């Protein structure tokens, strides 16, 4: 199949080149930090965005996330703003933007035109820094730091560009990155991880940050209330992810026993029958935080199904390079603000 698709990679590559050529990057007048990747599919980018937001908030700054909001079921002609003063539906905002907002309370602006989104935000809310979600291939905005996520389990696919492979750009594009972070490091062997780290080092001239997901907690659908699951219970997993294996591995590492898993397509728009069909015997359904924000909105507040659905919450754990992570972020913030952040 990849041989048949190989000629189309040239068309894709030409399209990327022309898109880049036609865009003139512009400043947003604030510090801009991008989090992205060079592959199509799950790399664990959203938890990294959340970790970035939380760290910037810990420095006393007011971050605003700019995101396209992929696979929204509804669209608006104007940017959609999630903030303490503005609520919206998942269908209009998107699952990942809603998750970022609920996890951090930071404002999130959703819209294809992220320059317009930035202008919209600056007229309504306090803004110190813009975080550009999935922004490594977004050529219209100047960045002070590009963070790129690489999934240790499938870093570059077969090495070919879309559609013959999963690469959005050639691996050498990592040279543009100010920071490369390997995710899911605990799901591969030491030799595999070392080989990948050296490969990235040879491209960028700097060792990547190495991370995995841990510090697990289990909550209800609102991502706040504790949810108890007995140690001898078996759980059934439900998710809509580009990388479901990582979720299943995390559930096992959290000490839960898996009875089965149903994985819908990435950014799946749930309907009630999806949930009802999976309720079996006394099993508890466990889902991801990204899926939870949609299921939470789908179920009535008094629905008994809520008592059968738990959420596995994860956090980024740095195995190597946390000091570099902080240093690069603080340096980016100080560039445009002219400050020395302690």
Average pLDDT of each block of 10 consecutive residues along the chain (342 residues)?
59 63 83 95 88 97 93 83 89 92 96 93 91 94 97 93 91 97 94 98 98 94 91 89 84 91 89 86 88 92 91 96 97 69 36
Model's pTM, two decimal places?
Answer: 0.90
Q: Is residue 235 part of a domain?
A: yes
Domain that holds residue 268: 215-314
Residues 6+ apart with CB under 8 A from 126: 62
Q: Is the dihedral of CA 160, 162, 164, 166 positive or negative?
A: positive
Residues 186 and 323 in one domain: yes
Phi, psi of 337 (to 5 degrees): -90, -15
Residues 206 and 283 in one domain: no
Residues paired with 313 in a beta bridge: 217
Residues 6+ apart with CB under 8 A from 120: 78, 79, 81, 109, 111
Residue 61: the pLDDT is: 96
Residues 232 and 150 in one domain: no
Q: Is residue 342 part of a domain?
A: no
| Cβ-contact 143, 32 below 8 angstroms | yes
Domain of residue 97, CATH code: 3.40.50.300
Q: Is residue 39 part of a domain?
A: yes
Residues 137 and 271 in one domain: no
Exposure of 132 by Cβ count < 10 A (0-12 exposed, 13-18 middle, 19+ buried)?
A: buried
Residue linked to tokens 């749930």: 270
What CA–CA distance (Å, rounded) separates 145 from 284? 42
Closest CA relative to residue 242, chosen from 1, 43, 14? 43
Number of structural domains the chain divides into: 2
Residues 22 and 140 in one domain: yes
- Tell me how far the alpha carbon of residue 180 is from its chain's centroid: 15
Residues 151 and 190 in one domain: yes
| Cβ-contact 180, 204 below 8 angstroms | yes
Phi, psi of 155 (to 5 degrees): -65, -45
Phi, psi of 30 (to 5 degrees): -135, 165
Residues 194 and 332 in one domain: yes
One-letter-per-residue 3-state SS of the chain: CHHHHHHHHHHHHHHHHHHHHHCCCECCCCEEEEEECCECCCCCHHHHHHHHHHHHHHCCCCEEEEECCCCCCCCCCCCEEECCCCCCCHHHHCHHHHHHHHHHCCCEEECCCHHHHHHHHHCCCCCCEEEEECCCCCCCECCCEEEEEEECCCCCCCCCECCCCCECCCHHHHHHCCEEEEECHHHCCHHHHHHHHHHHHHHHCCCCEEEEEEEEEEECCCCCCECCCCCCCEEEEEEECCCHHHHHHHHHHCCCEEEEEEEECCCCCCCHHHHHCCCCCCCEEEEEHHHHHHHHHHCCCCCHHHHHEEEEEEEEEEEECHHHHHHHHHHHHHHHHCCCCC
Residues 332 and 272 in one domain: no
Closest CA relative to residue 125, chosen from 161, 160, 83? 83
Residue 246: the pLDDT is: 82
Residues 286 and 323 in one domain: no
Residues 35 and 108 in one domain: yes
Rounded alpha-carbon distances, angstroms, from residue 179 to 123, 145, 149? 31, 8, 9
Residues 12 and 122 in one domain: yes
Residue linked to tokens 């466990």: 286
Domain of residue 247, CATH code: 3.40.50
Residues 249 and 287 in one domain: yes
| Cβ-contact 32, 142 below 8 angstroms | yes
């Amino acid at each position: 199949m990849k041989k048949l698709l190989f000629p189309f990679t040239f068309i894709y590559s030409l399209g990327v080149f022309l898109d880049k050529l036609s865009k003139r990057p512009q400043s947003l007048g604030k510090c801009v930090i991008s989090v992205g990747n060079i592959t199509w599919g799950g790399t664990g980018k959203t938890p990294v965005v959340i970790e970035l937001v939380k760290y910037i908030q810990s420095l006393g700054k007011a971050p605003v996330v700019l995101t396209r909001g992929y696979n929204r079921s509804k669209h608006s002609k104007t940017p959609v703003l999630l903030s303490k003063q503005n609520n919206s539906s998942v269908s209009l905002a998107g699952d990942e933007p809603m998750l970022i907002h609920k996890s951090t309370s930071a404002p999130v602006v959703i819209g294809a035109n992220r320059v317009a989104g930035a202008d919209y935000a600056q007229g309504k809310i306090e803004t110190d820094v813009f975080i550009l979600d999935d922004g490594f291939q977004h050529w219209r905005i100047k960045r002070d730091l590009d963070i790129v996520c690489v999934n240790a389990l499938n870093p570059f696919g077969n090495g070919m560009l879309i559609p013959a492979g999963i690469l959005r750009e050639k691996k050498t594009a990592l040279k543009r990155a100010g920071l490369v972070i390997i995710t899911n490091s605990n799901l591969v062997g030491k030799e595999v991880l070392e080989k990948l780290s050296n490969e990235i080092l040879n491209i960028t001239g700097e060792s990547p940050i190495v991370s995995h997901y841990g510090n697990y907690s289990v909550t209800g659908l609102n991502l706040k209330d504790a949810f108890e699951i007995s140690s001898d219970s078996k759980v059934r997993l439900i998710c809509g992810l580009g990388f479901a294996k990582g979720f299943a591995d995390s559930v096992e590492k959290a000490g839960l026993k898996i009875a089965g898993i149903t994985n819908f397509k990435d950014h799946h728009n749930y309907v009630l029958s999806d949930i009802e069909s999976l309720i079996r015997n006394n099993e508890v359904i466990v889902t991801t935080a990204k899926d939870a924000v949609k299921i939470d909105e789908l179920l009535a507040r008094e629905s008994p199904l809520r008592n059968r659905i738990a959420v596995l919450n994860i956090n980024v754990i740095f195995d190597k390079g946390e000091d570099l992570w902080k240093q690069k972020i603080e340096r980016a913030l100080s560039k445009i603000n002219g400050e020395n952040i302690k």
